[in-house]
Amino acid sequence: MNLREEFDEISIRGRIAYGVTCMNELCKKRRINSSKMISFLELIKSGTKTNDFTQIELAVPEYYPKDESLKELAIAFGFNHLSIDQQKIIEIALEELTYTTLGNIYAGYRSEYTLEPLINLKQILKDNDIVLPDSKPFKKSKSTEENGWGKSVPFEYFQSNK
């Protein structure tokens, strides 16, 4: 089964949870543990249980520095200890996670709006020799539920295969 087929059956909420899990793995590998990064990931995690994505959409820009340079972003999110190339990777990963989370909020369910950025995020991990999370727990949330969104569940729901 290829990536598209594997993740096409997973709901948007399941994709959000998988994306956060990928980002957690990337942060562990690169030793990123700033309070801002942790808080940002908590905000994105809330997408597995909220029905009001407008709150997330409005909060995301508050995390980003006014000066949108890579240097300021790295300082703000606590990854300025990395090389410029690694900082760029983290910047792209954050963008892909955000697109995975917010890609469908104004349109009817279109799988590719959240599927493409999730596949890109997964590829970032793969390219950087970071162990990919098992997709099995995220398959519990089906794209056939709740018009593609999946049922509203806490993030922890995706942390086991049960």
Q: What is the mean pLDDT of each run of 10 residues along the chain (162 residues)?
A: 78 94 97 97 94 89 92 96 97 95 74 87 95 93 90 92 69
* Residue 19, in any domain of the structure: yes
Contacts with 1 (C-beta within 8 Å, 6 or more apart), sequence order: none
Looking at residue 125, its pLDDT comes to 95
Looking at residue 147, its pLDDT comes to 87
* Residue 46, in any domain of the structure: yes
Contact 79, 32 (CB under 8 A): yes
* Residue 138, in any domain of the structure: no
Contacts with 83 (C-beta within 8 Å, 6 or more apart), sequence order: none
Q: Which domain holds residue 65?
A: 5-129
**Helix (H/G/I), strand (E/B), else coil: 49:** coil
* Residue 85, in any domain of the structure: yes
What predicted TM-score, i.e. pTM, was given to this entire model?
0.93
Looking at residue 93, its pLDDT comes to 97
* Residue 150, in any domain of the structure: no
Looking at residue 28, its pLDDT comes to 96
Looking at the structure of the chain, the number of domains it has is 1
* Residue 71, in any domain of the structure: yes
Query: Tokens for 116?
Result: 């493409």
